[in-house]
Amino acid sequence: MNELDAEKFELINNTILPEAVHFWERALMVRETKNTIRLNRKCESSQVFVKDHHTYCIDTCRTTTMCGEVNVPEEHLDVCRTCNATGHNCGVQKGSVAGKGIDGADFVFYVSALQSERCHNGLTVAYAAHCQQESALDRPIAGHANLCPGSISTKAQELETLLSTVKHEILHALGFSVSLYAFYRNENGEPRTPRRTETGKPPLNEKLQTHQWSDDTIKTIIRPEWQVHGGSIKRSMQMIVTPRVKEEVRAHFLCDDLEGAELEDQGEDGTALTHWEKRVFENEAMTGTHTQNPVYSRITLALMEDTGWYRANYSMAQQLGWGRKLGCDFAMKSCKEWISTKFGNSRTRFIHPFCNKVKQDPLRTECTDDRSSVALCNLVEHSQPLPKTYQNFDFIPDVPKDRVQYYGGSVSLADFCPYIQEFTWRAKNIVVRGSHCLYEENNPQPAKNFALEQYGAKSRCFEHTDRMWEERTCKQARQWQHWGSGCYQYSCKHGRLHIIVSNYTYTCYHAGQELAIRIMQNDWLHKGAIKCPSCKDICQAEFHARGEWCKPSEEDPPPTVYHRDNLICANAHVFSSSLIIISITSLILISR
């Protein structure tokens, strides 16, 4: 079932879905329970009887059985089993025949593309759930996902996020779901949560309308001194505490006291408890919203292994840079405490990955920590004071003290903690280009390429100096108000980092060195400067692979050579020019 146009259908059906399935086929090995997969028929009544691992309807089954938004084919369905209203006279309904089912598969996944009510007018990208579990180990054997057509883009720079979204939804159906935690098993195949003798299933949680898990799977953790604006509060959180998850999350943050991996506590039905906490795991792909560069880390693979249903291939894990090796202060305390401690320390003002620079004109961009993107601090003013729990500042530079409680990050799932984030340029609410350096499609139009940027496969983000970039002719001069960083090509040769600007190569001799840029292009003289990062930050891995290394820093590099900087003019008119609206957005992913 789909409402996709031909181009989107071709992309999803022939590229995105096969790649997503192939990824999980390589990343997870199933603990097999070899049986033909047949789905139970749905009942007219919400009351059912369970006997001998089979579901029995009262009197009759529905004429159609849905898995999500998909009508399950007759050949995939089991026979209709019924009992009378008292649970007697149970058996196969007369004339009912089982379909041939699906042989040779561990899991069947039904995919639809309908702009359903849950798509929330384009805010939700997709949602997913499992439809059925097998009887031996409770492993999910069927699931579904619905992709919201209005949120699907075929632009090349957005395909990585689309692929990650589909992989994300598949994983919900495979086991990362609030409705499945109570069925997790240990490495010996024994239930982590005790079962009720009369039903053989875990107890019910009527508030959540799902089966209740044990403290061996998810535990409530209390932080008695959680710092917020003006003081502290008591904060409770839910954490996955299974063995491999605990081991991986402690290794990631370098924090042996960390109890487990924190789950999301915000969002609508299907977001809370079914994703990693955004504040703690920002760009891990199994958080509740994609904001930039989603990765599937060892922590997520560890969770799937702790279900007892899979073995994980950790070579498929991607490195999660967020919070890596930042210790217990980062993993176990509020972002308010992290920011206040780092910003208030006279020895350092390094507060990454969080930030405290308000998004406003003139825009001052930065680089993401991995230098993959031009980025902005997503700290914005909200229309009303944030809830006390999410007031993360006592002080913000250039913000009146009585307005501080109105300020927070633009991503609510991250507890309104502000951080450096990729963004898009928009004109009339249409995406013009993104800020990820690796995509050629993000190159600015020549007339707007004031800082002579170059996006592409061999590009990284480099900071500008504190001076605005200028463009000059003999008749006029322009100062661009949006600056701070840009994407440029680079090379690692002869023990040095070399930054390439408009086909001119500038060599970095030490970190912090300022490269003065003076280049004539399209009849304009472009004037600005780029700051060199450390050679090791950019080139160490590449040099190591070739058996080379970065040369020692030289504090006195050769004199700067200016390129064609011989523009001599009089009475030039100076004016400012700004770029189109910049949008920092997040794509919501939900599941049950």
Q: Would you name the residues annotated as active-site residues?
A: 169
Q: What is the dihedral of CA 352, 357, 358, 360, to 10 degrees?
A: -120
d(CA 237, CA 272): 11
Residue with tokens 């030039």: 572
**Strands of 470-472's sheet, edge to edge?**
514-521, 524-531, 470-472, 476-480, 573-577
Specify the 3-state DSSP secondary structure of 524: strand
Distance (Å, rounded) from C-alpha 294 to C-alpha 307? 23
The half-sphere exposure of 491 on its side-chain side, counting CA atoms within 13 A, is: 9
Sequential DSSP letters for 338-402: HHHHHHH-TT----TTB---B--SSPB-EE-TTSSBEEEE-EEE-SSPPPGGG---S--TTS-GG
Q: How many other C-beta atoms can be found within 10 angstroms of the C-beta atom of residue 388?
A: 12
382 known member of a binding site: no
Instruction: Identify the bridge partners of residue 276 per DSSP, sorted by sequence position.
Output: 263, 287
Radius of gyration for the chain, computed over Cα atoms and rounded to the nearest angstrom: 28
Instruction: Output the CA–CA distances (angstroms, integers) from residue 198 to 49, 68, 90, 203, in the order listed.
Output: 12, 29, 18, 10
Give the number of other CB atoms < 10 A from CB of residue 198: 6
Say whether 482 counts as a known binding-site residue: no
CA distances from 262 to 71, 272, 547 (A): 36, 11, 41
By C-alpha distance, which of 430, 443, 487, 442 is closest to 153? 430
Q: Return phi, psi of residue 388, to 5°.
A: -50, -40
Buried b (16+ CB within 10 A) or exposed e, 152-181: beeeebbbebbbbbbbbbbbbbbbbbbbbb
Sign of the CA dihedral with 26 first, then 32, 36, and 40 last: negative
Q: CA–CA separation, 42 vs 44, rounded Å?
A: 7
3-state DSSP helix/strand/coil % of the chain, to nearest 5? 20, 30, 50
Residue 433 contacts residue 443 (beta carbons within 8 Å): yes
Gap between the Cα atoms of 519 and 581, Å rounded: 27
- Give the C-alpha separation, 49 to 204, whole Å: 16
Q: Are 172 and 591 in contact (CB under 8 A)?
A: yes
Of the candidates 297, 323, 289, the one whose C-alpha atom is nearest the C-alpha of residue 413 is 289
Beta bridge partners of 77: 39
The beta strand positions in 75-139, using DSSP E, are 81-83, 91-92, 108-112, 124-133
Question: What are the phi and psi torsion angles at 275 (to 5°)?
Answer: -145, 160
Residue numbers in the known binding site are 168, 172, 275
Residue numbers in the known binding site for Zn(2+) are 168, 172, 275
